[in-house]
Chains A and B, each alone.
Chain A
Amino acid sequence: MSDFELNGGIDPEELRDAARRLLADKVDRRAPWEARDNGRMALEGAMTELGWYLLTIPEAMGGLDQSFEALAPIYEEAGGALSPLWPAGTMAAIDVLAADGTQEAQAALQAIAEEGHRVATVILPVGALAQSARVAMVPGADLATHLLLVPENGDACQLVPRDAAGVSIEVVETWDRSRSFAEVVLNNASADAMRIETPEALSLARAHSELALAWDCVGAAAQCLTETVEYMLGRQQFGRPIASFQALKHRAADHKVALELARSLVTHASMAYARKRNGWAELATQARLLATGAFRGIAEDAVQLHGGVGFTWEYSCHLFLKRALVNEMIDGAPEALNDRIAEAVMQKATSARI
């Protein structure tokens, strides 16, 4: 049952509230660490029912015609809850298909809206081909009905059913149990593929994925910092809460600054992406870099600020730490991302000057 009315003018803050309520109800973040079922299928069902997968699909294809700004609060809340699902694969594919706009693409969008198709968006690094490639960690691919293969070398994208010949999706065990990851192996896989020729496909898929990851980091980092401060308020040493020691609280303050700087850039980049303002592609990468860096910094220090218990399985510091490290590394380490946008960033710097 829908918690709120979906209509043309959706308030992102209402979506945030709905997301927060749903995630609080459905996510048992300790489950994967204690050999319990994490209930992700129930969450997926509820997300579908709430219409989240319809949000950015164009109206003509049965969607709600919203921009990325409607998704941002959902991604952020999902990060804060350490949600086990990764809807960004499907959402990124929606942006690519909508930009492509061919009849086939429209049909694919309709299938997402009406038949519950779910997509894992797979960026194929330069050197890998859509016919033959191996990508080690694709988030949420085990639940996908389709793969959107996006070659970095500029070749056309392909939308491939998961059961197509030559496609193999194997769940992989990783240190980060908060989400599922699969290894995708393509071996002569192009036979049934639908080709997507729109020249912006790579930029769109990448920017959407990066912004989703960035919001996940912002949400998770904020939650990690809140829990760390709470712990420090309760933990007494030398007859006072350790939260009162300047040496420690100044570190917390620095983390807060890093988090808010990241949030500012991620917000700005999301707006630029939603409205396709100048430089949106580079901004998305810059936002991701700042957000993954902030989250990593906070999660890393959270263990230290908790002291001994931060090093235990029982406390949740490691949940954040592991997710942070995955977020930072997936689809390209910071250095690689940085190198990809350096030229554009420097061009921009030299064109606006006093």
Chain B
Amino acid sequence: MEEPGSIDALRGEIRQWLAANLPADWRERQRGDDIPSFLTMQKEWFAKLVEAGYATPHWPKEWPGGGRPLAEQIAIFEELARGGAPRMSLFFVSLYHAAMTLCECGTEAQRAKHLPAILKGEIWCQGFSEPGAGSDLAALRTRAVRKGDHYVVSGQKIWSTLGQFADQCLLLVRTDSSGPKQAGITFLLMDMKSKGVDVRPIKQITGDEEFAEIFLDEVEIPVENLVGVENEGWKVAQVTLSSERGLTLVELTERMGLSLWRLVEIASGGGRDFSAIDIGTRREIVGIASRIEALRAMLATLMANRIAGREAVGDASILKLAYSRLSRDFTALGLRLGGTASLCDTHYTLGAGYETGNWMFDFMNSYQYNIAGGSNEVQRNIISERVLKMPREKLA
């Protein structure tokens, strides 16, 4: 696709800005074994992005940095990825899920309270999934009962990204169980310091704690924290879930493409003589390279369609499934080529892409994409039912 000159200029501007502002040692400062340092680095980087306007291109134009069209948002994500900048891990939910939900469905008072706070570093998490409501999110059971000017909430949430560091939470609760499961869900904003909130980080297979469980024991949430209408929170949740508009995959795919050299390097032992690489390995690398190229092309088409407002049903599921599987295959190949050395390399960086060459960490981490945000199996249901028009399986 040919880009207009304005986007080209924006790209140049970001590259220049990165050259002056990207801390060379950020990967060292975001090591997995030093969480305080990770948090400091993330906050420092976030403040710089906000100041430059690169954190909020998707916000309404009244806000600093806001009002940029999707094409420019894409360019920003691509350039930050190409420049090897840290991902926005700690602030992503705040900037996208929280801010976009408030912009589209919140009250004026909610926006006035939280949007400026987000720019100053208020951290948000999502309280959607529950132990019994993963792929079947609408089956959630965390209960809220209205008492006077507040709701009293009890239940359990799980898989809240970085929930242990969050100040605020986007919370889905059940206020009515009498009708269909999507009805009777209510969307609330919860202060994580409220009485009765207990957060426990989940230790993942990587040893890292990127997610948390949130236990709610008669937590009181003021009624003014209701988003939208009581019992109609499911609609609001759809806004939250579609808030990032594919930008995460733009970034991750770009990072994977620009990390392909790692596979070549490890296969060739760091040398430039590619013909010395085992023929089977060479073929696998070409296969991965082709899939990355295809995914980039698919993503470009999807984003162009989004910009033009003509996205087809299921396109996002096809893309996500393709990406998830590629993520696993890419890292699995690196792991195998790395041999025992990759099994001994237990130092990893948080908030990076695929470029660090810690294959074992990236391989384990790839399960995230295959499970979170609608597991591969859910995507296959969506593709077969909504795109190929195959019937739902009769449930027992």
Contact = CB atoms under 8 A, between A and B. Distances in A.
Interface string B73-99: 000000001111000000000000000
B259 A354 contact: yes
B179 interface: no
A296 to B, nearest CB: 14
A149 B38 CA distance: 62
Nearest to B301: A264
B322 A244 contact: no
A165 interface: no
Given A246-B393, A249-B380, A342 B282 contact: yes
B183 interface: no
Interface in A307-354: 335, 338-339, 341-343, 345-350, 352-354
A349 B263 contact: yes
Given A250-B384, A253-B321, A354-B81, A289 B290 contact: yes
A134 interface: no
Nearest to A262: B294
B342 interface: no
Contacts of A233: 389-391
B285 interface: yes
B297 A265 contact: yes
Given A264-B301, A354-B259, A349 B393 contact: no
B63 interface: no
Interface residues of A, number: 44
| Binding site secondary structure of chain B | helix
A243 B285 contact: no
B239 interface: no
A263 B385 CA distance: 21
Interface in A274-323: 283, 286-287, 289-290
Contacts of A246: 377, 380-381, 393
A26 interface: no
B279 interface: yes
Interface residues of B, number: 56
A117 interface: no
B384 A252 contact: yes
Contacts of B260: 349, 353
A267 interface: yes
Given A241-B391, A260-B298, A352 B282 contact: no
B318 A232 contact: no
B257 A252 contact: no
A345 B289 contact: yes
Contacts of A172: none
A47 to B, nearest CB: 29
A343 B274 contact: yes
B394 interface: yes
Interface string B15-36: 0000000000000000000000
Most buried by A among B272, B290, B300: B290
Given A250-B384, A260-B298, A283 B282 contact: no
Interface of B: 81-84, 255, 257-261, 263-265, 268, 272, 274-275, 277, 279, 282-283, 285-287, 289-291, 293-298, 300-301, 318, 321-322, 325, 353, 355, 377, 379-381, 383-385, 387-394
Which 7 pairs show the lowest CB-CB distances between chains A and B? A268-B297, A265-B294, A249-B384, A264-B298, A354-B84, A253-B383, A253-B380
21 contacts: A240-B394, A243-B390, A246-B393, A249-B384, A249-B385, A252-B384, A252-B388, A253-B321, A253-B380, A253-B388, A260-B318, A264-B298, A286-B290, A335-B283, A341-B286, A349-B261, A350-B261, A353-B258, A354-B82, A354-B258, A354-B355
